[in-house]
Structure 1
Amino acid sequence: MADVEHTIGLLLGTEDDWPRAYEALLRRIGTITGPDGKTHRVNTERVTIEPFNLRDQPRHELVIDRLAYWYYHPREWLKKIALMDDVYLLNSPFTFQSMEKHAAYCAMMRLGLKVPETVLVPYKNPLDNSRYAYTAARYNQPFDLDRTAEQVGYPLYMKPYDGGAWVGVSKIRNPDELHAAYDASGERLMHLQASVEGYDVFARSLSIGPETMVMKFRPDQPMHSRYEVDHSFLSAEVGDEVVTISRLVNAFFRWEFNSCESLVRGTDVHPIDYANACPDVAITSLHYYFPWAMAALARWTIYCVVTGRRPRLDTDTSAYFEISDDSSLSYAEKLGEYRRLADAHFEVDRYRDFCASYLGHVDEIVHDWVTSEEFRSLLRETVRATYPVHEHERFLAHFGGLIDAWQRDHVVPPA
């Protein structure tokens, strides 16, 4: 028996592949001896939705949230356990508030990042609110949508200010497409954002705590082919900037399980989307990178509960703004200072020391797990649940081959 038992809650929607993988890894890791000299075991529990008394004591020390960005009842439960019980959350429900990307754009513009020109336009259709007609008649300024779009510049994108999964995103090349997309937006609040034309590569970085994987992303491909396995598609300097931006965003907003999309043109990194409350970690899309994601999630969550890492609900924006407002600093120097603050927030050095001292065996465990029948069974069941019968054989071979490639690239040397 472990000296200390920790319970991590999984607040889930429709996904089942990565939760099963995460649960399997924690079982295989078993107990570890922590820096306090005690043995620790981390267990999981899938959280159910039910009435809760605001004075109830939660069973969980940490909750991985994949649901509350659209389901408000569990979101309010997360707020309660964070405010009243100091439960550690991946991610903060206070700053996400249903994947609200608008504030993220504003904050990163203030910090000087190369966010494309962006304009928020009013609703196309009236809101379902009895006071709207009076307020709109008295205060809504008539505006010229065509002129607004011309000021942003064609081509541009129309995208929901709070959206996710590319829902409602349209590339606009001319006034006809502009009006068609705006008419279709209805009661959704939309941004117009300049397109970064002629970019060299689309980088998508998945961050889990202080770990980040930057992947080459091909948005025009079907989901199973969007992440291309390429280990040298960015220069070292540009890759480091993408990691810095990803970590900066997360530290700034207290997010710990998030993805960031950036367009790289030459040596310029243009972040275009970096507020994803439920980042894609499906085995059928991450494939080659899936074992890394599960290992990183296990390492970070174990670190948090074993070391008693305390949640930070407040956002120390002034420390970041002092850097952004310092006109004596170059862009590169500001990025370096942001990285210093972000690394301090995520306790990067302490985390690395912890992993080296107490979780050094995790890579071997992950490799053994990926080669096991348990993992192959998970892959088969996921493919069968995702694709029609006539495509099962094709996709089992496709994902199996990518996982085999990861195994070859990550052979753990014998102790």
Structure 2
Amino acid sequence: MDHLIGLLLGTEQDWPRAFETLIGRIGPIRGRDGVTHRLDTTRVSIEPFNLRDKPRHDLVIDRLAYWYYHPREWLKKIALMDDVYLLNSPFTFQSMEKHAAYCAMMRLGLHVPETVLVPYKNPVDHAKWAYTAERYNRPFDLDAVAEALGYPLFMKPYDGGAWVGVSRIADSTALHAAYDQSGERLMHLQQAIEGYDVFTRSLTIGPETMVMKFRPELPMHERYAVEHDFLDATVGDEVVTISRLVNAFFRWEFNSCECLVRDGVVHPIDYANACPDVALTSLHYYFPWAMTALVRWSAFCVVTGRRPSLDLDTARYFAVADDPGLDYRGRLAAYRRIADDYLAVEEYREFCDTALPHVPALVAEWVTSQEFDDLLVDTVRGTYPPHEHDRFVAHFRGLIDLWKRETLS
């Protein structure tokens, strides 16, 4: 049986080349039913589509529709009408919208910092705005809102990404300057978690999660620190649970989650990322893991005939949140069971062990090849100015060599 995996892409070239290469080398996969499955990839083009057209794809990895609406509507169509498997639901991943994600995780009892949504600074371009604003817009004291939250705080777009429009607010002057600059963008004000012990960014692909120490103050090529024991077991498990909970709740299977850990308390601060960072020049050391997870989860979904689940079934989570007999740890454990059930963790592990045992060695062989080094050099040349090419080629080769030494020894 043949399966086609579609890649809906924007400007990325590095990880798509890696993914296509690995899928091309994975070979036939024998399912539990004895059927032999063959996987292939194609890059999805953007063109007019009839709503009754039948797509060729069994699965689509979307990296574009969070901001490009035409392919987003195609994804909705193939999910609703054709049962094509999507790693991120287009019905809940609208333009990297953070607001609903904050609301949902607060409802489930996570330690999300206090957050306030403030009205637009400037009127929206709409004919009814003036009348509606005159009658219904209540005057408010921005300083009072900020003081209730407490300085310092952050102002950030309710639907933003890539840290665009995010400001750290230390006082009233900075508050009004940032609000004036926000224009027609709708903004959150959120408490800052000062004096945190560690900033984590966890990348989750299907049931696999990599928790990385993140240093946002550094340039992108240095933000992911190669450290393995920076969280104790309890906190590390909580960060993984939160990451999988978010994904299972919203039907996302390719997403990143940012948490701040202070005095053993985990505060999720950003976890609606429609297009998580998987660039070679960002992940470096962790890039082989990400490609391994993406290949294995994609293969699992198409070979086992995993069906898309568009309904959120939020009542299961809310029943846990409202159970008076559960404390915070008890709720986390219950959420983890629900999330692991949705992500088919046990079935996936068995599949990797029986149908894909060769994939880690396949990835390792490729990472040590000249072809991978060519990809690394091409990516550096496409990312950095010419005078920095030699420096960054050496930098990323060194990090990949570290992965080889630690993984292959």
Relative to the length of structure 2, the TM-score reads: 0.99
* 1:206 matches 2:197: no
Aligned amino acid, residue 98 of structure 1:
S
Distance (Å, rounded) in 2 between the aligned partners of 1:315 and 1:148: 33
* 1:50 matches 2:71: no
- Cα deviation, residue 266, structure 1: 1.6
Distance (Å, rounded) in 1 between the aligned partners of 2:38 and 2:177: 56
Distance (Å, rounded) in 1 between the aligned partners of 2:302 and 2:391: 41
Aligned amino acid, residue 125 of structure 1:
N
- Cα deviation, residue 327, structure 1: 1.6
CA offsets per residue over residues 127-174 of structure 1, 9 Å max, x none? 011011111111010000000000111000000001000000000000
| Structure 2 residue matching 1:96: 3-state secondary structure | coil
Partner of 2:56: 59
Distance (Å, rounded) in 1 between the aligned partners of 2:10 and 2:128: 35
Partner of 1:410: 407
Partner of 1:37: 34
Partner of 2:119: 122
CA offsets per residue over residues 251-290 of structure 1, 9 Å max, x none? 0000000000000002100000000000000000000000
Partner of 2:312: 315
1:339 to 336, 340, 365: 336
2:375 to 365, 378, 387: 378
- Cα deviation, residue 41, structure 1: 1.1
Aligned amino acid, residue 104 of structure 1:
A
2:74 to 74, 77, 83: 77
Distance (Å, rounded) in 2 between the aligned partners of 1:91 and 1:307: 18
Q: List runs of 5+ in structure 2 lacking aligned partners.
A: none
* 1:328 matches 2:294: no
| Structure 1 residue matching 2:126: 3-state secondary structure | coil
Distance (Å, rounded) in 1 between the aligned partners of 2:120 and 2:321: 32
* RMSD (Å), alpha carbons: 0.6
Partner of 2:128: 131
Distance (Å, rounded) in 1 between the aligned partners of 2:93 and 2:201: 19
Aligned amino acid, residue 217 of structure 2:
D
Distance (Å, rounded) in 1 between the aligned partners of 2:75 and 2:99: 22
Relative to the length of structure 1, the TM-score reads: 0.98
1:276 to 244, 248, 273: 273
Alignment of 1:170-249 (within 5 A): 170-249=167-246
- Cα deviation, residue 306, structure 1: 0.2
Aligned amino acid, residue 96 of structure 2:
M
| Structure 2 residue matching 1:263: 3-state secondary structure | strand
- Cα deviation, residue 38, structure 1: 1.7
- Cα deviation, residue 32, structure 1: 1.5
| Structure 1 residue matching 2:57: 3-state secondary structure | coil
* 1:297 matches 2:297: no
Partner of 1:90: 87
- Cα deviation, residue 409, structure 1: 1.1
* 1:146 matches 2:127: no
Q: List runs of 5+ in structure 1 lacking aligned partners.
A: none
- Cα deviation, residue 33, structure 1: 1.3
| Structure 2 residue matching 1:259: 3-state secondary structure | strand
* Greater mean deviation of Cα atoms: 323-332 or 215-224: 323-332
- Cα deviation, residue 307, structure 1: 0.2
Distance (Å, rounded) in 2 between the aligned partners of 1:67 and 1:168: 20
Partner of 2:387: 390
Distance (Å, rounded) in 2 between the aligned partners of 1:399 and 1:31: 33
Between Structure 1 and Structure 2, how many residues are aligned?
Answer: 409
1:166 to 163, 187, 195: 163
CA offsets per residue over residues 369-392 of structure 1, 9 Å max, x none? 000011000000000010111111
- Cα deviation, residue 328, structure 1: 1.4
- Cα deviation, residue 230, structure 1: 0.1
- Cα deviation, residue 30, structure 1: 1.7
- Cα deviation, residue 352, structure 1: 0.3
| Structure 1 residue matching 2:210: 3-state secondary structure | strand
Aligned amino acid, residue 120 of structure 1:
L
Distance (Å, rounded) in 1 between the aligned partners of 2:215 and 2:59: 34
Distance (Å, rounded) in 2 between the aligned partners of 1:368 and 1:405: 15
CA offsets per residue over residues 5-46 of structure 1, 9 Å max, x none? 100110000111000000011111121211121211111110
CA offsets per residue over residues 63-90 of structure 1, 9 Å max, x none? 0000000000000000000000011102
Distance (Å, rounded) in 2 between the aligned partners of 1:248 and 1:358: 27
| Structure 1 residue matching 2:347: 3-state secondary structure | helix
Distance (Å, rounded) in 1 between the aligned partners of 2:137 and 2:85: 42
| Structure 2 residue matching 1:258: 3-state secondary structure | strand
